[in-house]
């Protein structure tokens, strides 16, 4: 039976060093489309949020073009992240080791990973980002539709639009903060960026940060090939 966090395309390749397939090409393309659309949404949204950032509209061809493009970028983000959600939701389900990881957050920040439990494909912090993004994108698309007057003006009242604008703005600020945390963590944990650029990590990286997931991959390879293998750097 396949482990809950082992996804199609995950695999271990013996060698010096051992390499581990973490993301397929399709998953990486999906991720970068989501990331780029989120950045463009943030820039276009901030340019419309306050006059002091209106200069950012130059990136999109001016104020009118920015106003027209912004909601469509939201549609791209919604569907792109929707595909990511279908890919990764199962691996982001909460597990007992995530509670232990949270109680030992000080060790996480100090880099004392030997004191942490063995983790699956994602740790509790990554799962918070995933579910936080999922919730906030739903809020953004719902509130965005309410104020998208070009197509939906007649379906909502002025009062509803005012509330939607406030909710949309708060959700946008929140998702920008989550995105900053996500990027910072990816840069902070050395070797993580390789996963989303090349699709692979070293066996040592997987052993250090996601040992439970690596054990599951090795066990699956053993069961398939009939030859036990030991994860190594």
Token digits of residue 203: 């066996």
DSSP string, 163-223: HHHHHHHHHHHHHHHHHHHHHHHHHHSTTHHHHHHTSEEEHHHHHHH-HHHHHHHHHHHHH
Residues 6+ apart with CB under 8 A from 57: 44, 47, 48, 63, 65, 66
Token digits of residue 118: 């063995």
Q: Are 180 and 35 in contact (CB under 8 A)?
A: no
Q: Is 182 a catalytic residue?
A: yes
> How many whole angstroms separate alpha carbon 34 and alpha carbon 205?
25
Q: Which of 31, 70, 168, 182 is catalytic?
A: 182
Catalytic residues: 182
């Amino acid at each position: 039976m396949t482990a809950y966090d082992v996804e199609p395309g995950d695999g271990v390749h013996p060698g010096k060093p051992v390499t581990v397939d973490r993301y397929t090409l399709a998953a990486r393309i999906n991720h970068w489309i989501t990331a780029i659309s989120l950045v463009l949404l943030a820039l276009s949204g901030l340019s419309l949020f306050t006059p002091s950032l209106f200069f950012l509209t130059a990136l999109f061809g001016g104020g009118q073009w920015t106003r027209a493009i912004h909601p469509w970028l939201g549609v791209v983000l919604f569907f792109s992240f929707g595909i990511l959600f279908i890919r990764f939701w199962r691996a982001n389900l909460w597990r007992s080791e995530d509670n232990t990881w949270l109680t030992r957050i000080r060790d996480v920040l100090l880099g004392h990973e030997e004191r942490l439990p063995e983790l699956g494909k994602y740790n509790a912090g990554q799962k918070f980002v995933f579910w936080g993004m999922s919730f906030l994108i739903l809020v953004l698309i719902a509130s965005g539709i309410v104020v998208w007057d070009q197509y939906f003006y007649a379906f909502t009242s002025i009062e509803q639009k005012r509330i939607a604008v406030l909710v949309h703005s708060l959700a946008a600020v929140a998702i920008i903060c989550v995105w900053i945390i996500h990027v910072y963590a990816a840069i902070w944990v050395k070797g993580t960026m390789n996963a989303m650029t090349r699709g692979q990590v070293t066996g040592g990286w997987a052993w250090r940060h996601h040992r439970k997931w690596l054990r599951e991959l090795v066990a699956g390879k053993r069961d398939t090939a009939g030859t036990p293998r030991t994860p190594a750097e």
